[in-house]
Structure 1
Amino acid sequence: MRKLWTIVLLAALTACSGDGETRPAASVPTPAATSVPTAPTASMPAAVAPGAPKDVATGLAVPWAIAFLPGGDALVTERDTARLLRVTPAGKVTEVGRITGARPEGEGGLLGVAVKDRQVFLYYTAEQDNRIVRYRLGDDGLRDEQIIVQGIPKGGIHNGGRLAFGPDGYLYATTGETGDRELAQRRDSLGGKILRMTTDGAPAPGNPFGTLVYSYGHRNVQGLAWDTAGRLYASEFGANTYDEINLVRPGANYGWPEVEGKGNDARFVNPILTWSTGEASPSGMAYADGALWVGTLRGQRLWQVPLGRDGSPGTPVARLTGRYGRLRAVTAAPGGALWVSTSNKDGRGSPRPGDDRIISVPLS
């Protein structure tokens, strides 16, 4: 069994959830803390500090997701305005389009974005559901809208929303259980899952149940990243005590709502890493430079998590603590940097001059 180590903060027992909503009373057993891992070895690289961050773009409104185009520009979603923006490395911001079907409600709105060739995939909250829509990116904006997945449960909280293409070429999407906890354990529901699909929205070949469902038992996954060995990691909001990073396997059950954090039930897969909810509330995540980089909302820091050759985590190092407020999206940029967005205008943060912004964090 992989080592699990935990950072415990007693105040988190009554804290707010990952994205800020009031947490329900605990109904799951509190797992015991385990020891911190030893110092880095030859298979566990030391955490090298990133370079000095700098602003790429300012004056944005809840930039939720970032995906790079082949030429080096990025597409950025704004959750509450439903605008899709194009941001150049030099910081020029133009509006590609406004998604008229998106309904910003609570934690819903225009959420994830992914790019494959000249196709743009968006995840947004519509009037009746969350859905995934495909467009073609033309010189005059988005064209040829096609809904490829609909019927994903929607709610005021826990809408999931992250989109990313894996190294296998298939599109992955995260969904939340919208506060209806039992949806996470129902394999016939799209809520509380990680989904895997073709660009047409069909179940990808090899999916464990012959449906879109790739893994289940999730509360609200907000980050996806693959390491160089092709292993998939997911960052997930906990409830009362522990936020998580999970190593995702096809068909695996990650335990929510029966387990929060590490459990003692062989039916469920334990996270490889947990934090107290006060130190994390993990949102976007990227893999770069031998580590996972996790943006946090309530924690207001960028966690650097070194990974060993076997995918096991080393000791996390907090970067940028409190410097930029709530951090939402984290994406590896061309040229060896991270683009990180703030989320201080989402109703739960304290906006600062220039917010919301995208910053570039150089890596070694």
Structure 2
Amino acid sequence: MRPPADLDRRHLLLGVAGVAAGGLVGCGSGSSGSGVSPAPSSVAVPPPTGTPSADGSPTPSPAPRATPSPTPTERAAPSGPPDPDVAGTVADDLDVPWGLAFFANGDALVSERDRARLLRVTPKGKVTRLGEVRGVAPATGIGEGGLLGVALAPGDEDTVFAYLTSASDNRVVRLSVRGGKVGRPKPLLTGIPTSVHHHGGRLLFAPDGTLFVSVGDAEDSALAQQKGSLAGKILRIRTDGRAASGNPYGNRTWSYGHRNVEGLAFDADGRLWATEFGDKRADELNRIVKGRNYGWPRVEGRSSGDDYAGPRATWSPTSSCSPAGLAITRSTAFVGALQGRCLFSVALDGTDAGKPKAHFADDHGRIRNVAVAPDGSLWMTTSNTDGRRTPGKDDDKILRVTL
């Protein structure tokens, strides 16, 4: 069980959350400058050599691939549409589990946002606390910074890439978990604007070895339209933090005009998708294309004309969803909903998407992340200890969802 001190912290947060209930959705302001600390020459993770295809989808290259994709192939998947069912609890008594990445043996690396800890969780529920990541500034009140997304390095399960909030910025770092111990983080990309909300924070390795990074607008919406700013973007970088070859503007920007993206996933054909928090009008599921402008703050939700890339699915009003984590398998996008307090499924047909369908509404509270496990099930994390609602018994949890 959790120590009394942590319970006291939660009770204090809940007092604040009661005042702001419904007023803020999960999602950070600072300068648009950036600093890069190059990776030491001894690092075993080489820069990627592949480049995107003409439509922006990553293409395979000789560079080492990330940990083998846990997503089953369409040929191996059961027939018929997925039928999500909560099969049980993998782990509980966690503190805002945010990032989740799978090792080849089926264990998962999990980040706890506020405690800044990395955990290793087995499918049978054994939780090993690897240690705390240094230099993380945890969220305060109902803020959203801390230790966020994690990704395992291509071809090297002892090396982790993480997105975190420091005292001065958001940043991407690399660290070792060799021997089950957390090493000192090495900054790769610094100077990402930060604020109380809108940090972004999701990391996703592409098949060509490049790393996609989702960054919120840091509560300064004008930055989202500035192609040279790191805020309000989906970035594409090398493993040393520099801009990847083939990016549309010669910098790290892959797409822009984003408010706050917390979910990134590839479909079976290598297309990139993202979930995005709207303001009040509409939340979005977007198909991400190289160089496109997704409209924020000029557009929220659907719009007419071709100046901005339109969402493939929307939720309106935003209180009905607040989409966080994203997983795609069996031609279906699965979206964790914070304010919606459910898991949404959205059928995908090429670049088109169907109408969202809610599952487990109000059964488990706020849903933060969802990921496809090596066995084809989903791991779904709750986010009830983040100060926005009264935690349930043994919150937060990782739940196993069969399809």
TM bucket (normalised to shorter chain) is: 0.7 to 0.9
C-alpha displacement of 1:279? 1.8
Mean CA deviation greater in 138-147 or 99-108:
138-147
State the SS of the aligned residue for 2:287: strand
- d(CA) in 1 for partners of 2:27, 2:269: 34
List alignment gaps of at least 5 residues for structure 2. 1-20, 29-78
Q: Secondary structure at the match of 1:278?
A: helix
* Aligned-partner Cα distance in 2 for 1:270–1:253: 9
Q: What is the alpha-carbon distance in structure 2 between the residues aligned to residue 156 and residue 336 of structure 1? A: 36
Q: Which amino acid aligns with 2:84?
A: P
Counterpart of 2:352? Answer: 312
Query: Which amino acid counterpart does residue 120 of structure 2 have in structure 1?
Result: R
Aligned-pair CA distance for 1:70: 1.9
Which residue of the partner structure matches residue 325 of structure 1? 365
- The question of 1:100 aligning with 2:134 is answered yes
SS at match of 1:157: coil
Residues 1:129 and 2:166 aligned together? no
Counterpart of 1:170 (choices 181, 188, 210) is 210
Are the equivalent residues in 2 in contact too, given 1:82–1:104 (CA < 8 A)? Answer: yes
Q: State whether residues 164 and 170 of structure 2, in contact with CA within 8 Å, keep that contact through their aligned partners in structure 1.
A: yes
Query: After the TM superposition, which residues 1-364 of structure 1 pair with which residues of structure 2 at under 5 Å, given as runs?
Result: 16-19=23-26, 47-105=81-139, 106-116=143-153, 117-118=156-157, 119-143=159-183, 145-276=185-316, 277-308=318-349, 310-363=350-403
5+ residue gaps in structure 1? 1-13, 22-44
Asked whether the 8 Å contact 1:80–1:109 carries over to 2, the reply is: yes
Q: What is the CA-CA distance between 1:46 and the residue it aligns to?
A: 6.4
SS of the aligned residue for 1:18 comes to coil
Q: Is the CA contact 1:18–1:280 (under 8 Å) kept in the aligned structure 2?
A: no
SS of residue in 2 equivalent to 1:94: strand
For 1:195 and 1:232, the matched residues in 2 are separated by 12
Distance in 2 between the 1:144 and 1:103 partners? Answer: 15
* C-alpha separation in 1, matches of 2:352 and 2:304: 20
State the Cα deviation string for residues 203-234 of structure 1 (Å, max 9, x = none): 11111111111000000001001101111110
In structure 2, how many angstroms separate the alpha carbons of the residues matched to 1:268 and 1:17? 25
Q: Is the 8 A contact 1:17 1:281 kept in 2?
A: no
Deviation at residue 183 of structure 1 after TM alignment: 0.7
TM-score by length of 2: 0.78
Does the 8 A contact of 1:204 with 1:212 survive in 2?
A: yes
Q: Give 1:4's aligned residue.
A: none
Q: CA deviation at 1:268?
A: 1.1
CA contact (8 A) 1:17 1:240 kept: no
* Partner secondary structure for residue 142 of structure 1: coil
- Note the C-alpha offset of 1:199: 1.2
1:306 aligned partner, one-letter code: A
Distance apart, 1:79 and its partner CA: 0.7
**Cα distance in 1, alignment partners of residues 22 and 373 from structure 2:** 33
Does the C-alpha gap of structure 1 residues 15 and 80 become closer, same or farther in structure 2, counting only changes over 3 Å?
A: closer
Aligned-residue sequence identity (percent) comes to 47
Task: Tell me the distance in 2 between the aligned counterparts of 1:352 and 1:239.
Answer: 28
Equivalent residue pairs, number: 326
